[in-house]
A and B are shown apart, each in its own frame.
Chain A
Amino acid sequence: MTAQDTLRVDIWRGGAEGRFESYTVPHETSQTVLDVVTYVQRRLDPTLSYRFSCRVGMCGSCAMTVNGRPRWTCRTHVDRVAEDGRIEIAPLRNFPVVKDLAVDMAVFFDKWRDAGARFQPRDGAASTFANVDPNSPERRAASAAIECIGCGICYAACDVVAWNPDYLGPAALNRVWTLVNDARDADPAAHLAPVAGDAGCHACHSQQSCATHCPNSLSPTASIAGLKRRTLAALLKGQL
């Protein structure tokens, strides 16, 4: 076998403490990083722990750090990322490591809850459908940010999350932005207070690592900028 027929794959093994172990994996056409991890677990080392589900780029379960960048491994072709036939695969940054490539997502979703990133229905049964103009600026803003599936890649990519443990993170704030713009929510303006301040939108430095790495091409940076504008306006009107 020539060098191009195999890949040298370094995979993180262990928890917070651990090391990279090397595996030699056959190189196939159109091979994805998830294919590589699956090969290692099935053929080389059954003790390797990792997560995946849909394997077609719609669930976000397979997110890992590949050669230093957070990616969906099922949507990452080996040929796009391998450097000299080598790939380094590690768990997502900014999450506690459970084992090997599986991380604990609890804090991520706790921050989602703490940000109040949940739709609040109005009291009473609706007597008719909500009339939402799809071309209104608010609906366009919400629609531009709504496709988040909570994969955690933006949270892993964000340096502020790494530096500021209290920071709610791009995904939670992005979701709040969709709710602030949702005409059906019982009180869109009430969503601003939980995301104002140093743990909220004002901690963002607009570095755009989130937008760069989001596999759905969302821009939490833009959503957070919107939250900054709205919270500032609310503050100046005495409504915060």
Chain B
Amino acid sequence: MSARFEVWLFAAQRLSALVLAPLVLLHLATIIYAVRGGLSAAEILARTQGSIFWGGMYGLFVVAAAVHGAIGLRVVMREMTPLSLIHI
């Protein structure tokens, strides 16, 4: 792992955090709305299926979470487990 690559990882971590912040809030708001509204799974799907907006938002959420989680777990593994001996 070169230093330049590690700085790119850091940049990706910050960028994905920037994307996640509003999307997490959106997700929380959506869950709360759906649960308090007593929506069933079928009803939720009926409202969101085929929607470019919902597909796009949650697709972005998944990508950002995958990037952020993977990079974060690498750091956690290095700092908290013996796997620091392997330069991952």
Category for how many chain B residues contact A: 10 to 19
The answer to the question of B43 belonging to the interface, with a C-beta cut-off of 8 Å to chain A, is: no
Task: Please indicate which of the listed interface residues B1, B3, B10, B84 has the most CB atoms of chain A within 10 Å of its own CB.
Answer: B3
The answer to the question of B11 belonging to the interface, with a C-beta cut-off of 8 Å to chain A, is: yes
- Bound Cα distance from A196 to B4, whole angstroms: 7
- Bound Cα distance from A197 to B84, whole angstroms: 15
The answer to the question of A147 belonging to the interface, with a C-beta cut-off of 8 Å to chain B, is: no
Taking a contact as CB atoms under 8 Å apart, the answer to whether A163 and B7 are in contact is no
Taking a contact as CB atoms under 8 Å apart, the answer to whether A163 and B8 are in contact is no
The residues of A that contact B1 with a CB separation of less than 8 Å are 197-198
The residues of A that contact B7 with a CB separation of less than 8 Å are 196-197, 202, 231-232, 235, 240
Binding site for B on A (CB under 8 A): 160, 163-165, 193, 196-200, 202, 228, 231-232, 235-236, 240
- Bound Cα distance from A198 to B87, whole angstroms: 10
Question: Across the two chains, which residue of chain B brings its CB closest to A199?
Answer: B3
The residues of B that contact A228 with a CB separation of less than 8 Å are 10
Question: Across the two chains, which residue of chain A brings its CB closest to B2?
Answer: A197
Q: Give 4 closest A-B pairs by Cβ, nearest first.
A: A197-B3, A163-B79, A197-B6, A202-B10
Task: Please indicate which of the listed interface residues B2, B7, B11 has the most CB atoms of chain A within 10 Å of its own CB.
Answer: B7
- Bound Cα distance from A118 to B55, whole angstroms: 53
The residues of B that contact A196 with a CB separation of less than 8 Å are 3-4, 6-7
Closest CB of chain B to A199's CB: distance in Å?
A: 8
The residues of A that contact B3 with a CB separation of less than 8 Å are 193, 196-200, 240
Question: Across the two chains, which residue of chain A brings its CB closest to B14?
Answer: A232
The residues of B that contact A202 with a CB separation of less than 8 Å are 6-7, 9-10
Taking a contact as CB atoms under 8 Å apart, the answer to whether A232 and B80 are in contact is no
Taking a contact as CB atoms under 8 Å apart, the answer to whether B78 and A198 are in contact is yes
Provide 20 A-B residue pairs closer than 8 Å at the C-beta atoms, listed in order of the A residue: A163-B78, A163-B79, A163-B80, A163-B84, A164-B84, A193-B3, A196-B3, A196-B6, A196-B7, A197-B3, A197-B6, A198-B3, A200-B3, A202-B6, A202-B7, A232-B10, A232-B11, A232-B14, A236-B11, A240-B7
